[in-house]
């Protein structure tokens, strides 16, 4: 299944994701990517995003017009102000990430709009372990160079495509497993197989860092490989980087 993603301007909404990056204790890159992906899933599965929930209208409009995500960084007092805004905080390993309900592209809350997009150059202090064989893995294109912030947004896209493509039984099992997932860079030969496998693949709109149409992440899970699997909804999803 190939989910094509692009974006047209207009009455757009964007999902704000904030990663905590303190000068003395920055998070590891992989932890930050996995926290961002899990934060997106947590928001999608939250009762406030469901029908009649307080975030429902914003989430539905965001999904209808595109699922763009923008990652910004915060530290110190900035982070404390972010915690006062509606949202969900996910802590994973060394990373703390907060996701907020979608906001208009040109009308962010002040305490979010003043945060910086740049400065998300994170590194791992050790190679990440081999992911579980039966789990959800978001495989990153090894041929692309992306900042951690860009890669966090792309991992969030892939997690969302996997969620949309999961039947309720699979969602229930994933939920009971704590929405566990791994984010890893694919090996070159492995990436070629994954990108042509029919699994959910993110194609970036090319607004930042990489060329339009670039395949950035493939979501792999056993139930997404089941015979007869088809993407949910009608027509391609619209999205951007």
Tens-digit pLDDT profile for residues 67-85: 999 999 999 999 999 999 9
And the tokens for 105? 């592209």
Residue keyed to tokens 């229930």: 172
Task: Give the tens place of pLDDT for each residue, 87-121.
Answer: 999 999 999 999 999 999 999 999 999 999 988 89
pTM recorded for the entire structure: 0.90
The predicted pLDDT at position 3 comes to 40
C-alpha to C-alpha distances, 202 to 12, 39, 42, 75, 188, nearest whole angstrom: 19, 18, 19, 30, 17
Contact 42, 105 (CB under 8 A): no
Q: With contact defined as beta carbons under 8 Å apart, do 88 and 39 qualify? A: yes
Query: Does pLDDT of 197 surpass 60?
Result: yes
Model confidence at 133: pLDDT above 90: no
Distance CA 212, CA 77 (A): 36
Model confidence band, residue 188 (pLDDT cutoffs 50, 70, 90)? confident
Of 238 and 126, more confident = 126
pLDDT at residue 142, rounded to an integer: 96
pLDDT(221) > 60:
yes
Name the pLDDT band for 204 (thresholds 50, 70, 90).
confident
Q: Is the pLDDT of residue 229 over 60?
A: no
H or E stretch covering 150? helix 148-164
- Is residue 47 pLDDT above 90, yes or no? yes
CA atoms within 13 A on the CB side of 223: 16
Higher pLDDT, 234 or 161: 161
Place of tokens 């194609």: 203
Position 10 scores a pLDDT of 47
Residue 194 to residue 197: CA distance in whole angstroms: 5
């Amino acid at each position: 299944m190939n989910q094509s993603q692009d974006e047209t301007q207009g009455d757009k909404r964007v999902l704000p994701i904030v990663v905590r990056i303190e000068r003395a204790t920055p998070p590891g890159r992989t932890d930050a990517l996995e926290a961002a992906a899990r934060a997106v899933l947590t928001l999608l599965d939250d009762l406030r995003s469901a029908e009649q929930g307080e975030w429902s209208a914003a989430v539905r409009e965001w999904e209808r017009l595109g699922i763009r995500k923008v990652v910004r960084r915060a530290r110190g007092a900035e982070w404390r102000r972010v915690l006062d805004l509606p949202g969900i905080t996910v802590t994973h390993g060394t990373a703390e990430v907060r996701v907020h309900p979608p906001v208009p592209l040109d009308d962010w809350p002040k305490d979010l709009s003043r945060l910086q997009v740049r400065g998300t150059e994170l590194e791992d202090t050790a190679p990440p372990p081999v992911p579980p064989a039966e789990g959800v893995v978001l495989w990153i294109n090894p041929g692309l160079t992306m900042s951690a912030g860009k890669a966090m947004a792309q991992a969030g896209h892939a997690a969302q495509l996997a969620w949309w493509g999961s039947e309720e039984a699979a969602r229930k099992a994933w939920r009971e497993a704590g929405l566990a997932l791994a984010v890893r860079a694919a090996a070159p030969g492995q990436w070629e197989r994954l990108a042509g496998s029919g699994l959910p693949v993110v194609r970036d709109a090319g607004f930042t860092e990489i060329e339009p149409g670039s395949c950035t992440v493939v979501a792999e899970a056993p139930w997404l490989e089941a015979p007869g699997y088809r993407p949910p909804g009608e027509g391609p999803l619209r999205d951007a980087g």
